[in-house]
């Protein structure tokens, strides 16, 4: 034992060396015997002690980077010091222990957000940021504690690319478990993460096409009115506009060879701005090939004398949405305004974009160039061929050429090619350099950091991937960051520390793992927070991180990853982490946006007058996610879109003055200072004139779910062939095709034959349609044609007693593909969820009680859905009472859940449908038809024994019973074993509904 006095007095290098050596040996042996088997502490796998130094009382322990593969917080540091102190004190009493990893003291690895009180972190003190886009029509107060005024760059993995070595277009990753990584992350970012960030106020940029619309219309300033092949471009007050010499977009050059930048081939028009009332206009009216949802992008030539508040108006099927766009930024580039619904054809009043010359900065100018509607198909030529795929599936390198970036700064950086040829390398280098291209000097592209760029003050860039790896159990979440940049410096060009990258990666991983463990499984694997020399984190000159969420090669991970509920929760976790990172850097307290309202109902109080009610939804993970107000969105008619919304502060809202003969639809979002929630389900109403009978539609289809899995010895995988394909949220963007290799023993050979999990690619250019939560209008439209008025309500509101079914002569219970669904990963045993919280039961005990009471009082019920009987008889939580309800109340029996393969149906002679003369009809199958989800497992049902019920519909391919009717015992029922809303013919729906209502109303 060496005393401190002896050590300080003797100034003996040999003694110092001996003390250090003894401590080194003691600590090394201890660490080696206490290593973790995974990546969590106190000593993650791979941790080792590199050296010990002793200076007086100070003992410094230097470990390798593996020690900080885990998140570092003060309790971990205290635990480590508490473990080391008893080992060191017998050798060197009163030692002060300092612990380092990869040359940095552990306290420095704690993100500033988690610093102990009194420790002042590095703070970003930026100048006020210019705002690129302002949605003037947004009805709610602007967020002050969200992401308003901040900018994000986000991309989802790789993409379809041209391999110059194999001379073909292909994915960069293999098709596994029905997905490919080049598509899979976009099933998180496009429907979930991007909208969450934007709902919080952020402006989000993506280097890949973000619109899944395969149609595209370009209307350029040079197109004019003479030949409306694409649409019409018009100038009002012609003399106010003149052609500018600076470059602009040129239409008609597609497809583009490698050396063509379409944003530099044409010209643009400019007009001087005026205050108040505009005096000049430009209007782009597209010839829309097919009604639907289209992204709108505008391009213009940016210059210092441009208006920072150029006034754009998008006229769409829901009205007019106004924007102010800063034309001093982001010129000669596709600037995304939003998604809008447009009707087929030329419709200037509800299908155009207008630019006016009014501005708060008179004397500046506005630039009118091209407007792009829709995502479109790939149009970049590689070795005399184009991809043949929708543009949203292609890699970044092609979209960025189409978007007008300078290749020598972003992707033409002199690489030889490497794996997959030059396009492969150009794709992954283009994404981070594009971030720098947006920002500009001093953080410009690394080929020329002085390049002025597009002037976008990006705060954060995120690369979203799913890492490779196979193991028994969940591989889990890895975060990657990089400290040293292209020039081996650890500061950004603007002087900030690149250790911000570690903080960002830490916050994202911590939030993801924390939320998954809270909602799904406490054993979710937290992998490393790891420094790696990857372009996507080395090249950006702003804080950046790379997310490897889970392993797309590992079946147990994919049981989570294929579940849209999991995708929502992970995306929300990433959004929250980004918000907390930015809020800390800018010095404000973040507030998390609320969840969507629930218990929605819309009821008629008089012709043309209704009342809407809803309730807020709490978030058990986030106490700040509390609604302070709501946005009520309204849609008038069927082939239309929602308006910009009305801000309200109460949970009930009366509307009068509705047209009595028109169907109106509504949805509600919650609002607070952090942002806007996703919308509620959509409910519709037709008030009628007061003379019509009235029905109630109960929307009970709120299920989103993954496909069915199959687990057997040497046969495991995703059972889309003859199982439940699940229900996507809106769309399934990840699908490539059915899995064809189910043997876990089969090894990876190459991307075309990757072994276990290998899947087909026949569906990868198509989109599987999912739950839009907007089906009451389909049922209601058929009712209206039959002469009935209707209200609608969510099933949750019925269960809560908000609506009394007895007030309605007929109730239409809409079940769609509702089915009892377990949480991921759909299994018991190791890795199973902590709680088996089954969701989406078709008819809960409360539902059954309410329906039974309604019918015994003389009620009339129409109920349709793919799993009504299956769920009541064969669900994991089915009870004897459920089967009895099916047979004694609904008067039918379950036969099979494989009622039909063709989904063709005919009416039985002598049934209630015979007077209508209804022949054979079809309901949606496969990935979906005519804008409605597909049904893969319709129920076959038959009349319950001795019930008096009758068969009214049969499936054509096997003559199984598809629908029954019952009249007697004081009530009437019609049951369909498939969802009514999926019948593809509107005329057939109207005829069926008319017959059903006539039968029930007797």
Q: For 603, which DSSP code? A: E
Q: Both tokens of residue 549?
A: 């969420």
Lowest mean pLDDT among 38-42, 506-510, 961-965: 38-42
Q: How do 203-205 and 151-156 pair as beta strands?
A: parallel
| pLDDT tens readout for residues 854-889 | 999 999 999 999 999 999 999 999 999 999 999 999
How many whole angstroms separate alpha carbon 114 and alpha carbon 108?
A: 11
Q: What pLDDT is attached to residue 16?
A: 73
Rounded Cα distance, 747 and 874, in Å: 36
Mention every residue, 6+ apart, whose C-beta is less than 8 A from residue 667. 600, 632, 633, 642, 679, 680, 681, 682, 683
Check: CB of residue 505 under 8 Å from CB of residue 543: no
pLDDT of residue 611: 98
Provide the pLDDT confidence category of residue 117 given band limits of 50, 70 and 90: low
- Residue 122 pLDDT more than 70? no
Q: Is the pLDDT of residue 833 over 80?
A: no
Whole-angstrom distance, CA of residue 772 vs CA of residue 732? 12
| Close Cβ partners of 317 (under 8 Å, ≥ 6 residues apart) | 340, 341, 342, 343, 350, 351, 639, 640, 641
pLDDT single digits (tens) 312-345:
999 999 999 999 999 999 999 999 999 999 999 9
Q: How would you label 1-17 residue by residue, b for 16+ Cβ within 10 Å and e otherwise?
A: ebeeeebeeeeeeeebe
**pLDDT computed for residue 965 by the predictor:** 98
Q: What is the pLDDT of residue 468?
A: 83
Q: How confident is the model at residue 827 (pLDDT cuts 50, 70, 90)?
A: low
Q: What burial letters (b/e) apply to 66-82, b meaning 16+ CB within 10 Å?
A: bbbbbbbbeebbeebbe
| pLDDT for residue 55 | 86
Tokens of 795: 């099933």
Residue 622 is predicted with a pLDDT of 98
Q: Return the pLDDT at 123.
A: 53
Residue with more model confidence, 140 or 914: 140
Backbone angles phi, psi at 478, to 5 degrees: -120, 140
Distance in angstroms (rounded) separating the CA atoms of residues 899 and 923: 13
Alpha helices in 718-858, H assignment, sequence order: 776-785, 795-799, 845-856
Q: How confident is the model at residue 914 (pLDDT cuts 50, 70, 90)?
A: confident
pLDDT by residue (tens digit) across 705-715?
999 999 999 99
pLDDT-derived band at 900, boundaries 50, 70, 90: very high
Confidence of residue 997 (pLDDT cuts 50, 70, 90): very high
Lowest mean pLDDT segment, chosen from 140-144, 380-384, 831-835: 831-835
Q: Is the pLDDT of residue 121 over 90?
A: no
Q: What is the pLDDT of residues 224-268, one digit of tens each?
A: 876 678 899 999 998 999 999 999 999 999 999 988 999 999 999
How far apart are alpha carbons 878 and 884 in whole angstroms?
A: 11
Query: DSSP code of 193?
Result: I
Q: What is the mean pLDDT of residues 77-90?
A: 95
- Please report which confidence band the pLDDT of residue 846 belongs to, taking 50, 70 and 90 as the band edges: very high
- Give me the residues paired with residue 444 across strands: none
CA distance 292 to 731: 14
Name which of 890, 895, 871, 883 is nearest 958 in CA terms.
Answer: 895
């Amino acid at each position: 034992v060496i005393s401190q006095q002896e050590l300080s007095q003797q100034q003996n290098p040999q003694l110092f060396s001996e003390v250090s050596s003894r401590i080194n040996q003691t600590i090394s042996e201890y660490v080696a015997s206490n290593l973790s088997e995974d990546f969590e502490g106190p000593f993650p796998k791979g941790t080792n002690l590199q050296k010990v130094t002793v200076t007086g009382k100070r003992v410094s322990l230097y470990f390798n980077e593996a020690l900080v593969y885990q998140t570092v917080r003060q309790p971990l540091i205290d635990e480590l010091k508490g473990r080391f102190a008893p080992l060191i004190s017998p050798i060197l009493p009163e030692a002060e222990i300092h612990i380092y990893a990869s040359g940095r003291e552990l306290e420095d690895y704690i993100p500033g957000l988690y610093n102990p009180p009194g420790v002042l972190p590095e703070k970003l003190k930026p100048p006020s940021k210019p705002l690129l886009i302002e949605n003037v029509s947004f009805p709610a107060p602007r967020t002050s504690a969200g992401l308003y005024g901040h900018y994000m760059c986000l991309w989802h993995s790789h993409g379809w690319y041209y391999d110059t070595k194999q001379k073909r277009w292909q994915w960069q990753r293999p098709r596994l478990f029905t997905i490919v990584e080049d598509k899979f992350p976009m099933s998180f970012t496009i429907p979930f993460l991007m909208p969450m960030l934007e709902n919080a106020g952020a402006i989000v940029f993506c280097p890949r096409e973000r619109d899944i619309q395969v149609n595209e219309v370009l209307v350029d300033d040079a197109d004019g009115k003479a030949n409306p092949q694409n649409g019409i471009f018009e100038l009002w007050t012609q003399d106010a506009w003149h052609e500018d010499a600076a470059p602009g977009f040129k239409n008609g050059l597609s497809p583009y060879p490698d050396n063509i930048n379409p944003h530099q081939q044409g010209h643009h028009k400019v007009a001087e701005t005026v205050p108040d009332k505009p005096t000049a206009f430009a209007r782009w009216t597209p010839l829309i090939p097919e009604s639907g949802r289209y992204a709108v992008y505008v391009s213009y030539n940016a210059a210092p004398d441009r208006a920072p508040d150029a006034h754009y108006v998008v006229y769409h099927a829901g009205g007019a949405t106004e924007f102010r766009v800063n034309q001093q930024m982001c010129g000669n580039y596709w600037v995304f305004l939003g998604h809008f619904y447009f009707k087929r054809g030329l419709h200037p009043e509800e299908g155009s974009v207008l630019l006016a010359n009014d501005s708060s900065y008179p004397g500046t100018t506005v630039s009118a160039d091209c407007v792009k509607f829709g995502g479109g198909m790939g149009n970049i030529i590689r070795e005399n061929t184009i991809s043949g795929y929708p543009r949203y599936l292609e890699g970044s390198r092609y979209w960025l050429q189409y978007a007008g970036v300078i290749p020598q700064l972003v992707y033409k950086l002199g690489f030889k090619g490497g794996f997959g040829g030059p396009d492969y390398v150009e794709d992954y280098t283009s994404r981070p350099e594009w971030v720098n291209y947006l920002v500009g000097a001093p953080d410009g592209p690394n080929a020329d950091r002085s390049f002025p760029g597009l002037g976008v003050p990006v705060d954060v860039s995120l690369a979203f991937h799913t890492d490779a790896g196979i193991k028994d159990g969940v591989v889990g979440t890895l975060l990657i960051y990089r400290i040293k940049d292209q020039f081996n410096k650890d500061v950004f060009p603007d002087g900030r520390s690149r250790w911000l990258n570690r903080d960002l990666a830490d916050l994202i991983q911590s939030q993801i793992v924390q939320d998954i463990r809270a909602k799904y499984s406490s054993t979710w694997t937290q992998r490393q927070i790891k420094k790696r020399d990857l372009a996507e984190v080395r090249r950006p000159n702003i804080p950046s991180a790379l997310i490897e969420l889970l392993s797309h090669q590992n079946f147990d991970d994919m049981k989570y990853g294929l579940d849209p509920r999991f995708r929502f929760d992970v995306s929300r976790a990433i959004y929250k982490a980004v918000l907390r990172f930015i809020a800390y850097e800018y010095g404000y307290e973040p507030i998390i946006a609320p969840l969507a309202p629930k218990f929605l109902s819309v009821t008629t109080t008089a012709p043309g007058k209704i009342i809407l009610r809803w309730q807020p939804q709490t978030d058990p993970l986030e106490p700040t996610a509390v609604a302070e107000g709501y946005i009520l969105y309204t849609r008038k008619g069927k082939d239309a879109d929602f308006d910009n919304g009305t801000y309200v502060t109460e949970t009930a809202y009366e509307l009068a003055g509705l047209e009595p003969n028109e169907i109106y639809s509504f949805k509600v979002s919650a609002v607070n200072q952090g942002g806007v929630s996703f919308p509620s389900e959509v409910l519709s109403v037709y008030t009628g004139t007061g003379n019509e009978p009235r029905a109630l539609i109960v929307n009970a289809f709120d299920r989103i779910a993954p496909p069915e899995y199959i687990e057997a010895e040497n046969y495991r995988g995703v059972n889309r062939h003859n199982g439940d394909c699940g229900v996507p949220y809106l769309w399934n963007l990840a699908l490539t095709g059915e899995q064809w290799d189910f043997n876990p023993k089969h090894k990876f050979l190459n991307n075309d034959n990757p072994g276990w999990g290998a899947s087909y690619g026949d569906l990868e250019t198509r989109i599987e349609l999912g739950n839009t939560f907007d089906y009451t209008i389909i049922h209601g439209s058929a009712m209206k044609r039959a002469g009935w008025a209707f209200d609608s309500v969510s099933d949750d509101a019925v269960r809560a007693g908000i609506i009394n079914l007895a007030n309605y002569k007929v109730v239409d219970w809409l079940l769609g593909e509702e089915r009892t669904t377990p949480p991921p990963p759909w299994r018991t045993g190791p890795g199973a969820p902590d709680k088996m919280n089954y969701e989406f039961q078709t008819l809960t005990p409360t539902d059954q009680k309410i329906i039974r009471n309604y019918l015994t009082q003389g009620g009339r019920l129409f109920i349709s859905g793919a799993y009504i009987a299956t769920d009541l008889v064969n669900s994991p939580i089915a009870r004897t009472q459920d089967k009895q309800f099916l047979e004694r109340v609904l008067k039918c029996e379950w036969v099979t859940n494989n009622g039909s393969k063709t989904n063709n149906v005919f009416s039985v002679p002598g049934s209630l449908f015979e007077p209508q003369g209804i022949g054979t009809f079809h309901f949606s199958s496969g990935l979906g038809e005519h804008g409605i989800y597909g049904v893969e497992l319709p129920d076959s049902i038959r009349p319950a024994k001795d019930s008096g019920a009758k068969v009214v519909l049969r499936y054509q391919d096997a003559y199984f019973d598809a629908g029954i009717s019952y009249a007697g015992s004081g009530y009437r029922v019609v049951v369909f074993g498939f969802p009514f809303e999926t019948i593809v013919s509107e005329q057939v729906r109207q005829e069926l509904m008319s017959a059903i209502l006539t039968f029930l109303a007797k």
